[in-house]
Structure formats: C-alpha cells, structure tokens
Amino acid sequence: MSHFKALKGFFFRNKWYYILGIIWLLLVDVLQLLIPEVLRRFTDQLQANTLSNEDIIRYGIYIISIGFGIAFFRFLWRIYIIGTSRKLEYELRNKLFGHLLKLSTNYYTNHKTGDLMAHATNDINAVRMALGPGIVMMTDAIFITLIAITMMATTTDWRLTILALLPLPFLAFTIGKFGKVINVRFKAVQESFSSLTDTVQENFSGIRVIKSFVQEDSEIKKFSVKNQHVYDKNMAMVKLFGMFFPFVQFMSALSFLIVVGYGGTLVIYGDISLGDFIAFEAYLALLVWPMMAIGWVINVLQRGSASMERINTILDEQPEVVDQPDAIDHKDIKGDIEFNNVSFKYPNSNEDALKNFTLSISSGTSIGVIGKTGSGKTTIATLLLRLFDANEGIISIDGNALNKVQLRSIRSQIGYVDQDSFLFSTTIAENIAFGVDECSKEEIIRTAKIAEVHDNIVGFPDGYETFVGERGVTLSGGQKQRISIARALIKKPKILVLDDALSAVDTDTEERILSSLKDAMKESTSIIIAHRISTIKDSDKIIVMDNGEIVEEGTHNELLENRKLYFEIYQKQLLEEKIAQD
Ligand SMILES: Nc1ncnc2c1ncn2[C@@H]1O[C@H](COP(=O)(O)OP(=O)(O)OP(=O)(O)O)[C@@H](O)[C@H]1O
C-alpha cells in the first residue's frame, strides 16, 4: 500500500471530500442498521396486540424517512468519494501524459506503445477503483460488520450470535480464495482481449498489404483462433461466477438455518421475543454483503497498489536529455553549426552511428548530405536536435555547445522535416500551424505555396479545413512530405533540416520547391539529407557519408571530378533515369 504515498498531495488537497464522504457513508450505514430496530418494535407490538392505526402510520413514516435518508446520503457519498476518485483519475492521467511527453525519445524505443496505453488506461483505472469504490466498500464492510454483530449480541442473544456467525469466517475465507482465482482469470481475459484488439488494429492499418497479398482468409483464420481464445477465457470466468454466487447463497443460508433452528427455540421458550428474532434475521441479512465485499476489497486494493507501483515507475523515470542548470536561452540563433570529432552509438546498439564526425556549416549556407542507407545521415539531425546526446565530441551552434543552450531555444529555432512526414488527425491548416502559437491564414497559405502544396490543398473538398487521416482524406506520400515542409517553414526556422523530405516528390516539383526555399530561407542554414543527387546538387557544400564517417566533401562539380562514391551514385542514378525514360 506504500505505493499510494505518491498521492499524498492529492489526498491532502481533497481530504475534506474524503472525510465528509466517509461521514455520509457511515450515516447511510447507521440508517440501514435502524431498520431491524423498527422491525423489532413493530413485531413486538404486533405480537402483544398493542398496535394501533397511528402506530402503523408512525412505523410507516419511520421506514419511509429512513429510506429517504439512505437515498439522500448515498447520493452525497457517491459525489464526495466516487467523484473524488474520478478527479484523481483525471489528474493522474494528465500527470502521466505530461510526464511521458517530457521523456526522451529513447524511452519510446525501449517501451511498446501498447504497454504505455495499458498503463494510461488499465492501471489508472485500477488505482481509481482502489481509491474510490475500494475505500467505500472497506469502510462500509468494517462498520456494518462491527455494529451489526454488536447489535445482534447486545439486543438479542450472544449465544445465538456466535452460532449464526460460525459459517461467516469460512465464507469470507473462501470468497478471498475465489477472489484470487477471479483475479488470475480476469487478467487472462484482459490479456487475450488486448491481443485480439492488437490484431484487429494491425489488420485495419495494414489492409492494403493484406489485400495485395490476398491474405484475407488467412487473417480471418488467425483472428478466429484469437477470438476463440478470448471466448475460452471468458467461459472460464463464467463457470467461476456460476459456482461463486450459489456458494455464497448456500453458506449464508446455513447461517439463516441456524437462526431459524436455535433462534426459533429461544422464541418458543420465551428467551427472546418474536421482534428480537425478526431484528436478528435482518441484521444477519445485512452481514452477508460485507462478507462478500471483504474478498473483493482486498483484491481491488492489491490490484490498485500494483498498478500504482507501475505508474510510479514511469513517473520516477527521468528524461535522459535535459537542460543543464546554467544552460542559456539563445534566442537569436544565427545558424553557424560545428560538429567537432563527434562519435555516437545508439543506446541499444553496438555499432557507432557516427564516428569522429567533424563538420562546419556557416550560417546562411546549405549543406547536402548523401550516402548509403544506414550510413548515419539521420543521426546528424538527431544529434543536432538533441534527441540524443553525443557520446564524444562537441556539437555547437554559434559557438555555444549544444548542452549549454536550453533545449527549447534550440528546438524552437530548427525546422525539422523527418523521414516519416507524420501528420496529426486534424485539419491541414492545423497541421501546418502545429509548431507556432498563433498564425494567420495568409501565413499558412504562404508557406504552403513555398512547399508547392497549395494547389493540392485547394483541390480538396474543404481546402485547408480538410481533415487528414482516418477521419478525412488520405494524402499521397508526396503531399504529406510537402505539408510537413510547410509545417517546418511556418516556424521561420534559423536552421532547416530536410531529412529525405523530397523523396516522394517528382523531380520537377522538387526543383520548384528547392528554388522557392532558396529565396525564403536566404538567412537560414539548411541541411538537406537525400538519396537523390538532384535534391542536393545545388547545395553550397555536399558531404558523402559511409559507415558513420564523411568519406568525401565538396561541391557537386568537385565531387564529380573526384570520381569516387559520389560519382558512382551519380552514374547509377543517371542510368536509372535513362531506363525509366526509355
Ligand atoms: N533508435 C535507434 N536505435 C539503434 N540503432 C539505430 C537507431 N536509429 C538508427 N540506428 C542505427 O544507426 C545507424 C545510422 O542510422 P541513420 O538513421 O542515421 O542512417 P541513415 O543514413 O539516415 O539511413 P537511411 O538513409 O536509411 O535513412 C544505422 O545502422 C541504424 O540501424
């Protein structure tokens, strides 16, 4: 339970909600416990033949008033306790999401999205259940049990009380055991269902691959197997509950049998009144539910505590890349970039992605980066954005080492277009304006024009208000890339990084984009990573990467004269173009 300590701030802020909620809850219990007393007096008067019409009305009013009081205070405790647990869920979810977004990119390499989603849904829900319904049931069960037993023993007969309660500890113990099995089976149901939803999600996302490989029948079969698994797990649960409820009823019936037998004898011999007998039965009926609840409460609290532990593990996780205390806020980056003897290995890799990498880029110039796949091109951008910190060497902007500058000031002044061109499921306008707090429609259109995507956008039914993704239009790879370029440009970045961002665009459009960019980005430094020579040939300087190192550098013409790797790539691409034209 110590894992809940992390929530002490929340409890402290909301202590009055919990305290008042528990008071309302106890009031409901007191009112419930009054009913047997009313029944006792009513029956005794009935038996003694002293019941008048006014008495009947009076007892009726008591019962209705108690019923009304129970309903009213039950409403209050639900609002105070269950409502507060919903508030806890809301705050915890915000905290977890905010924290997860602050963690470094490496965290996401090592953790599956499905697991993170499970923490954000199942674990938070389990904590809410423990600290809402769990607390209610525990308080309720303890209070009702204590008062009902005291009332039974003091107002009726202590021997009858002991005998009637004999089956109950056994009942509570067996329910606890049942609870454990229920827990295991419930987990199995959840796991099998989560695996089924993963399959469905993957099938829908990969529907084009399934269709083009004619794999519908095989996928349906695989789905069927998983569905059968879910069914089997659910049936195991159904069978367990099928035994659970009759068992509880049988065990509580044993208690009632004892009361009927021994209590009936006590009534016949005049040791207790008929009213005592009726009240006793009513108290006993009130006890069955706490016995059932106690096993459930233990499970809910255990599950909540385990979930809180998992959430705490995430919340204790620290971002790997952070601002140093003396990091400066470098507001007006000029764009001079230096990589000085930089070496870097990804955390879960044995190979250097960059080796002794040294490169100097002056502000306002453009540099083209080309090389084989996996040669370290993207890693240059990754390190410049400080998504990872280099293991050795220094990277600096305008003479300031990157780790001496605040992350926010670096990243906000770099316009990065990544290879995936990921867009959010919202309008095209909102996607373009993603990186800026405010901007005019004209500004959005202006950048879309530079990125040569304006004509495509106005061709969509809702223009700039067209939804992208599942709820809207499906964009071509080239359209996505150009919207991503507009998204980077609208930030008016001091450094622009295009990472293979024109690969899905035809060479004519590419030429137009590059020439518009040249005008728009006169003051900025550009790093253009590409596989096609046409994308980088006009850059002020080109570097050729191989195996994490620069193997050639110079202008397009210089590199062609070198007749090395760059020349080879050029020749190959010329040949490919020729074949394509023929
Ligand atoms: N997150 C990562 N974890 C481990 N290794 C990685 C990671 N990202 C890249 N690598 C490895 O680092 C090396 C350089 O990768 P990088 O993405 O920089 O290459 P690239 O030249 O941009 O390739 P491409 O042209 O295919 O985009 C590769 O060997 C790659 O497998």
Pick the residue whose CA is nearest to atom 19 on ligand 1: 374
Residue identified by tokens 């954005």 is 385
Query: How far is the C-alpha of 216 from the C-alpha of 212, rounded, in Å?
Result: 10
Please indicate whether residue 379, judged by its CB atom, sits closer than 6 Å to ligand 1. Answer: yes
Please indicate whether residue 440, judged by its CB atom, sits closer than 6 Å to ligand 1. Answer: no
pLDDT tens digit at each of 582 positions of the chain: 678 888 888 989 999 999 999 999 999 999 998 999 999 999 999 888 888 899 999 999 999 999 999 999 999 999 999 999 999 999 999 999 999 999 988 898 888 777 788 788 888 998 999 999 998 899 988 999 999 999 889 888 898 999 988 887 888 788 878 878 887 888 888 788 878 888 888 888 888 899 988 899 999 999 999 999 999 999 998 998 888 888 888 888 888 898 899 999 999 998 989 999 999 989 988 888 887 787 778 878 888 888 899 899 999 999 988 898 889 998 889 999 999 999 999 988 899 999 999 999 999 999 999 999 999 999 999 999 999 999 999 999 999 999 999 999 999 999 999 998 889 989 999 999 999 988 999 999 999 999 999 999 999 989 999 998 765 667 888 999 999 999 999 999 999 999 999 888 888 888 889 888 888 888 899 999 999 999 999 999 999 999 999 999 999 999 999 999 999 999 998 888 778 777
Q: Rounded to the nearest whole angstrom, what is the distance from the C-alpha of residue 517 to the centroid of ligand 1?
A: 27
Q: Coil, strand or helix: which one is 392?
A: strand
Q: Rounded to the nearest whole angstrom, what is the distance from the C-alpha of residue 495 to the centroid of ligand 1?
A: 22
Please indicate whether residue 108, judged by its CB atom, sits closer than 6 Å to ligand 1. Answer: no
Q: Rounded to the nearest whole angstrom, what is the distance from the C-alpha of residue 498 to the centroid of ligand 1?
A: 16
Query: How far is the C-alpha of 264 from the C-alpha of 276, rounded, in Å?
Result: 11
* Interface ipTM > 0.90: yes
CB atoms within 10 A of CB 487: 27
b/e 34-60 (16+ beta carbons within 10 angstroms → b): bbbbbbbbbbbbbeeeebeeeeeeebe
Q: Rounded to the nearest whole angstrom, what is the distance from the C-alpha of residue 360 to the centroid of ligand 1?
A: 22
User: What are 69's two structure tokens?
Assistant: 């009081």
Please indicate whether residue 381, judged by its CB atom, sits closer than 6 Å to ligand 1. Answer: no
DSSP letters for 529-556: E-SSHHHHTTSSEEEEEETTEEEEEE-H
DSSP letters for 113-163: HHHHHHIIIIIHHHHHHIIIIIHHHHHHHHHHHHHHHHHHHHHT-HHHHHH
Ligand 1: atom nearest CA of 379 is: 18
Please indicate whether residue 350, judged by its CB atom, sits closer than 6 Å to ligand 1. Answer: no
Mutate to test the pocket of ligand 1, among 108, 377, 391 (most ligand atoms within 8 A of CB): 377
Please indicate whether residue 110, judged by its CB atom, sits closer than 6 Å to ligand 1. Answer: no
Q: Rounded to the nearest whole angstrom, what is the distance from the C-alpha of residue 13 to the centroid of ligand 1?
A: 48
Determine which helix (DSSP H) or strand (DSSP E) holds 303, and give its type and residue range: helix 274-316
Please indicate whether residue 2, judged by its CB atom, sits closer than 6 Å to ligand 1. Answer: no
Q: Strand order in 337-344's β-sheet?
A: 354-361, 337-344, 392-397, 400-401
DSSP letters for 83-122: HHHHHHHHHHHHHHHHHHHHS-HHHHHHS-HHHHHHIIII
